[in-house]
A and B are shown apart, each in its own frame.
Chain A
Amino acid sequence: MNGNGKKHAISLYVANKPGVLIRVSLVFARRGYNIDSLVVSGAHDPAYSQMNIEATGDEKTLDQILKQLNKLVDVVHARDNTGEDVIAREFALIKVNCPPEVRSEVLQVAHAFDAETVDLSEDTITLQISGESHKIDSIHTVFSKYGVIEMVRSGKIIIARGTRSTS
């Protein structure tokens, strides 16, 4: 079921209660759908949480998953935002090999991507970056030349444009 589908950006508005995350993730697990990224945060109203889930798979399975998510008593609503007009952003920290001889070059590239330096050591630099997921992918590619020691990504968060509410 994985690998033959496309990436979906699913957003959920759920009751802020213990156990909700398990119920949600079980729906994916039962259908063999792998979760690529998952972000949970408190909603504007503290009684609720927002969930942003990225998952890969086929449309028919996703349709069933969305229905089963909406069937959960604690899920107020769940929807697939793929292809919708939404603002999607991701945040990442990236640690790059950065010995003195390439430092100015690395900093130049970092500047070009609006990356902010958050840590610097003798041989490494750690940058914080944000933007659309493909921008973070390309930053990773560009810095590979110097050697990426590690990168930690937040997972995608999305919000609807204009007056429409996200989910």
Chain B
Amino acid sequence: MPTTLRSGAEVLVDVLHQEGVEYIFGIPGGAAIPIYDALVDSPIKLILNRHEQGATHMADGYARSTGRPGVVVVTSGPGATNTITGILTAQMDSVPLVVITGQASTNVLGLDAFQEADVSGVSFSIVKHSYLIKRAEDIPRIVREAFHLSRTGRPGVVLIDVPKDISSRMIEPNFSEAFHLPGYIIPKEGDLDRIEEAAGLLAHARRPVLIVGHGAVISGAEKAVTYLAEKLQIPVMNTLLGKGCFPETHELSLGMPGMHGTAYANKALAACDLVLSIGSRWDDRITGKVSDFCKNAVKIHIDIDPSEINKIIQVDCAIIGDARYVVEAISAIAERGDTGEWLKQVAKWKRDYPLKYKKEGKLKVQHVIDTMYKLTGGDAIVVTDVGQHQMWAAQFFPVVKRYRWLSSGGAGTMGYGMPAALGAQFAHPDELVIAFVGDGGFQMTQSELATAVIHKLPVKIVIANNHYLGMVRQWQAMFFDNRLSGVELEGNPNFVKLAEAYGCKGFRIKRPADVRRILQAALDYSEGPCIIDVEVEKEDDVYPMIPAGATLDEMMLEPPKINMQGK
């Protein structure tokens, strides 16, 4: 037997190593044992999770905080189906993930073998692409294609299903077989005529705004966007996932628009005469009622994905390309328009309608987030879960650099925050990583606390504990006559004791007066992860708010005096 023979699994792991993979997140099982066996001799670090959903979110956190694909290896059947939520979360937000699933052997595929699940069939509509490997010889090409697809163009999730007989088969690997992706085109430069058109429209606009989204972050367009905004003197708003592409501390920044965006961003959006979206997809949380969105404004859209053009909003000028290249090209030729009056108006809105909260009385989540921002000077990677605390974090934790804000936007996956924060901490061992989570979301993936403790990851896990599924409670209160249904989280554990049970440090904040001192103590704690259980006001609501499907003019700055039922 020639010595060059290697098992399919070993070849798979070889290619992962060649692709620069540092960490693999996952849990083994029968069909994945050959791959886990090959990992024993690999320099890639294996992180054993407690649930496959946690593994995918962890890989997602690694990916969002580095721009490099996160890698997950799990077994067949339930191992594979447990990744589905994490796959959806990453795909909806264009996060590069390579998910490798063990599979039953090819000779029993489709025969309901033990732990068999048609995971490609289950995941077709939530992946960028997927493979079921039928020939071990194809492993090197497929794995390399998977990484290429995952990280280029509009990034996304690629799933590779590896039957056990394929990972066990001995082959002579060919690591240099060429890709074969004739249907895969990666737009880059953008059409010059459209770029000139956009520059012309910008120069003539009197009340222009820029919306920067995740596409701008992914493309690394921060400098280009800042240059464009400063050169043309245009106010900039960032979407939830666009945080970090343009400094929110910049005087031209309006923060986040949309359902829970700043009042001044929404006022600017309602009054603008031109809106340029840079890698944002006009999500319904931003547009509200689509037919009334920026009705009288010229709309320009830069996106790398042609299917986003005219999907929600009909635009006047579309440029398909990589945000950084397109914005650089526009700013090279665009002349500054007459935006002086507009900037004054926008500045007035910023003064008149600041984000605010009360520091007295009951303890507010906003107070905790704001204090954390001030104590850290904003120098942290901030990860959120989903719900009220997520919106407050978006409002009160300005972000200035990319890869430092991780949040599940498109899918809105509860349970994302803590494991994603661990993934970010693995990628950035020397940086401060803060997870803001709610008591509901935290409990969906809390078993990953074990992973944090084992690896002594110094993540600060701030639990905004209001004993409610707060965002749903807010909607029920506002739109369903306060008929609360299924939102009260009675039976929450004592999170400090829970932390201790895992060997994790626990802090608790109950009074506004203690916020600063205890957060500082948590920041000073460096032995490993810590939980900060914050007993907050039970029934606080997120404002400003634009009800779902309403227009920007219907924004509420404070609780309505009338019953909103039926809205």
A residues with a Cβ closer than 8 A to B are 14-15, 18-19, 22-23, 26, 30, 60, 63-64, 67-68, 70-77
Question: Which among A22, A71, A77 is the interface contact of B124 at CB below 8 angstroms?
Answer: A22
Q: At the interface, yes or no: B51 with Cβ under 8 Å from chain A?
A: no
14 other contacts beyond A72-B183, A73-B129, with CB at 8 A cut-off? A15-B182, A18-B132, A19-B120, A23-B124, A26-B124, A64-B310, A68-B307, A70-B183, A70-B306, A71-B305, A73-B149, A73-B184, A74-B129, A76-B182
Q: Is the CB of B183 within 8 A of A73?
A: yes
A-B contacts, 25 of them at CB < 8 A, read A14-B183, A15-B182, A15-B183, A19-B120, A19-B124, A22-B121, A22-B124, A23-B124, A26-B124, A30-B125, A60-B310, A67-B306, A67-B307, A67-B311, A68-B307, A70-B306, A70-B307, A71-B306, A71-B307, A72-B183, A73-B128, A73-B184, A74-B129, A74-B183, A77-B183
Which chain B residue lies CB-closest to A12? B183
Q: How far is the CB of B141 from chain A (nearest CB, A)?
A: 13
Complex Cα–Cα for A63 and B318 (A) = 15
Q: Which of B353-397 contact A (CB under 8 A)?
A: none
Q: Is the CB of A26 within 8 A of B307?
A: no
Which chain A residue lies CB-closest to B182? A76
CB-CB under 8 A from A71, the residues of chain B are 305-307
Q: Is the CB of B311 within 8 A of A64?
A: yes
Q: How far is the CB of A125 from chain B (nearest CB, A)?
A: 41
Complex Cα–Cα for A74 and B307 (A) = 16
Instruction: Among B124, B130, B182, find the residue whose CB has the most chain A CB atoms closer than 10 A.
Output: B182
Q: How far is the CB of B135 from chain A (nearest CB, A)?
A: 12
Q: At the interface, yes or no: B181 with Cβ under 8 Å from chain A?
A: yes
CB-CB under 8 A from A73, the residues of chain B are 128-129, 149, 181, 183-184
- B residues contacting the other copy or chain, number (CB 8 A): 19
Q: How far is the CB of B488 from chain A (nearest CB, A)?
A: 35
Q: Is the CB of A75 within 8 A of B183?
A: yes
CB-CB under 8 A from B120, the residues of chain A are 19
- Beyond A64-B307, A73-B181, A73-B184, is A26–B128 a contact (Cβ under 8 Å)? no
Complex Cα–Cα for A30 and B184 (A) = 22
Which chain B residue lies CB-closest to A73? B129
Complex Cα–Cα for A155 and B121 (A) = 26
CB-CB under 8 A from A15, the residues of chain B are 182-183
Q: How far is the CB of A46 from chain B (nearest CB, A)?
A: 14
CB-CB under 8 A from B124, the residues of chain A are 19, 22-23, 26
Q: Is the CB of A19 within 8 A of B125?
A: no
Q: How far is the CB of A15 from chain B (nearest CB, A)?
A: 7
Complex Cα–Cα for A10 and B130 (A) = 24
CB-CB under 8 A from A19, the residues of chain B are 120, 124, 130, 132
Complex Cα–Cα for A70 and B183 (A) = 8
Q: How far is the CB of B311 from chain A (nearest CB, A)?
A: 6
- Beyond A18-B132, A19-B120, A72-B183, is A26–B125 a contact (Cβ under 8 Å)? yes
CB-CB under 8 A from B130, the residues of chain A are 19
CB-CB under 8 A from A64, the residues of chain B are 307, 310-311
Complex Cα–Cα for A68 and B309 (A) = 11
Q: How far is the CB of B361 from chain A (nearest CB, A)?
A: 48
Q: Which of B253-285 contact A (CB under 8 A)?
A: none
Complex Cα–Cα for A70 and B310 (A) = 15
